Amino acid sequence: MATLIDNPKRARQLARAIASDLTLYHEPKILEGIANDSLFEAMAAEIKEG
């Protein structure tokens, strides 16, 4: 089970790390989603997984 992060600074750091990992491992899918104006739909599974 995930641990609750109640420190805003730590939450931002974790969010940046997750976004960086998504960008690193899914760049083609992100570019396709941007081009088709469907980024969140294209990345829904990856965003949910985090």
25 pLDDT more than 80:
yes
- Residue 1 resides in a domain: no
1 pLDDT more than 70:
no
User: Structural domain tally of the chain?
Assistant: 1
% pLDDT > 90, the chain: 80
46 pLDDT more than 80:
yes
* Mean model confidence pLDDT for the chain: 92
- Residue 30 resides in a domain: yes
Return the closest-CA partner of residue 29 out of 12, 15, 14, 45: 45
Secondary element (H or E) of residue 41: helix 39-42
Q: How many CA atoms lie within 13 A of 47 on its CB side?
A: 8
Residue 16 belongs to what domain range? 9-49
- Residue 4 resides in a domain: no
The pair of three-digit structure tokens given for residue 8, joined into one six-digit string: 């805003």
